[in-house]
Amino acid sequence: MADNVVVVTLDSVRADHTTVGGYSKNTTPTLEQLAQVNFLNARSNAPCTPHSMPSALTGLLPLSDGVLALQEKDTIPKYLQESGYQTCFVNSNIQIPRFNYHSDFGTHIDFSNISDDSSESSRIASEIFDKGKKFLDSGGVSGKIGVMLKDSYHRFAGVLQPHVEDQKLVEEAIDWMSAVEEPFFIWIHFMDTHYPYNFAEEHFEQVSEFSFNENRYARLLTRAMTHTRKGNFVWELDKEQQQYLRDAYDASILQADENISKLVDEIDLDSTLFICSSDHGEELWDHGCFGHAGRPSIPREMTLYEEMLRIPLVFAGDVPVQDEKEISAPVSLLDLAPTILSEAGTELTSRNFHGQNILQDSIKEDREIIAHSTSPGDPVDFNNNSNSKWLASLIKYRTKMVIDSRDNREIFNVENGREQPLNDLCEENREEYLTTINNSVSLSHSDENIEINENTEERLKELGYLG
């Protein structure tokens, strides 16, 4: 039984761009060395933070009870506090406080309203930058003018980072752990791996054949962000330019791995259960798009493809002895709550989870893994948009079905994170999949209106969620 529990989630990190997920580039050397149990077939239960974090915290599917956000659901920190744990959430993602996902933690160290550059020159540059964005979001000729304005701006200026570097979060987490009484539970949510990716030049050149140029990166990133939108004003990138941005994404993962190393150096792993995962993946033109935004102002459909769902999941430290280090059985973020609570010695019998303790229980190879989302992806927009819909996927063994509330369907064979389209299933299997998916969704529009204040709106724009 672990005395302490430390969870690190890497925002927007897909498994197939990590070494522990089978990637050819060495983007996660620390995790590779640390991993005592590495789940090769782990998935998020949603393709964006507002949907996936409730599942990770509660062990319940996002659309299983008529709501998207936490509402009154009990969470991991609430259960652990009842058992005497000190709890803390360290975060710089504006979506966390926006939906109160930190509410059950005893301490919340929040950097979501702080950027790395608050200078007057940065403010003026940001205002000029926003004018280009307004043109871009209007589409058509104006959209092309907007992209050109932003492109010209970035000939002289780099990327404006909307959040503090993860190194600061690590420092705060270490300070909290060194001062608090045991046992403790701390969750640290990294953001360097979220658009706009943050990394040191040395990390880029470790994973890329290109030389790094800050202005080129900023310009390509601006052009790529038109891929989060739809319309005839999309600025296409050639294969080399796309690879440059994939390398930047890889560099941000390598930087995150280095920060994990700094964190773990200050942890007594003999008495600590350490977990590293992600909240969801990232689209890198696998199906023609980039990023993962999906709001009415950025009206691209949300997706449940493997690049958005397959994530890393590594356990280290005080872990029960396993027969194998690498486990291919299907698991998901739903398993975090029952696993953490069980390993912390709390009673599970009276609690209802959709997951299981994946360190102790037998995992069936044909276990069903379900994911949910809505389009628009933001819970508030879903409630207030008459054209909104839900979508869900089910993977069982190597077969995957994706459906939505308008009865659109896609069927795939899934192996090693790759999807091959299938024409259809036999009638018996098709009906089984449809019934299971439809029974997993119990969704109603809520009248609750979570307001977006001016500062939150600005952060959402900088992170690519708002136009």
Widest CA span of the chain, in angstroms?
Answer: 64
Of 5-14, 104-113, 227-236, 272-281, the one with minimum mean pLDDT is: 227-236
How distant is the alpha carbon of residue 61 from its chain centre? 15
At residue 347 the predicted structure's pLDDT band, cuts being 50, 70 and 90, is: confident
Of 11-25, 184-198, 406-420, 435-449, the one with minimum mean pLDDT is: 435-449
What residues pair up with 396 in beta bridges, in sequence order? 368, 399
pTM for this entry = 0.89
| pLDDT reported for residue 377 | 73
> What is the CATH number assigned to the segment(s) 4-116+161-462?
3.40.720.10
Please give the angle made by the CA atoms of 31, 276 and 440, to the nearest 5 degrees.
135
What distance in Å separates the CA atoms of residue 157 and residue 221, rounded to the nearest whole number? 13
Instruction: Taking residues 364-379, report their average pLDDT.
Output: 87
- Secondary structure letter of residue 389 according to DSSP: E
What distance in Å separates the CA atoms of residue 375 and residue 359, rounded to the nearest whole number? 34
| pLDDT reported for residue 107 | 97
Flag whether pLDDT at 287 surpasses 80.
Answer: yes
Q: What is the pLDDT of residues 175-214, one digit of tens each?
A: 999 999 999 999 999 999 999 999 999 999 999 999 999 9
What distance in Å separates the CA atoms of residue 56 and residue 75, rounded to the nearest whole number? 9
**Nearest Cα to 333, choosing from 36, 65, 75, 19?**
75
Strand 409-415 versus strand 399-404 pairing type: antiparallel
Alpha helices of 310-372 — where are they, by DSSP H? 336-343
Instruction: Taking residues 407-435, report their average pLDDT.
Output: 92
Instruction: Taking residues 221-248, report their average pLDDT.
Output: 78
Flag whether pLDDT at 444 surpasses 60.
Answer: no
> In this structure, are residues 95 and 88 in contact, taking their beta carbons and an 8 Å threshold?
no
> In this structure, are residues 125 and 159 in contact, taking their beta carbons and an 8 Å threshold?
no
Neighbours of 41 (CB within 10 A): 23
> In this structure, are residues 299 and 388 in contact, taking their beta carbons and an 8 Å threshold?
no
Mean pLDDT of the chain: 85
Q: Which residues of 86-113 are buried (b: 16+ CB within 10 A; e: fewer)?
A: bbbbbbbbbbbbbbebbebbbbbbbbbe
What residues pair up with 372 in beta bridges, in sequence order? 392
Instruction: Taking residues 99-124, report their average pLDDT.
Output: 74
Per DSSP (E only), the strands in 366-455 are 368-375, 389-396, 399-404, 409-415, 418-421
| pLDDT reported for residue 119 | 46
Flag whether pLDDT at 56 surpasses 90.
Answer: yes
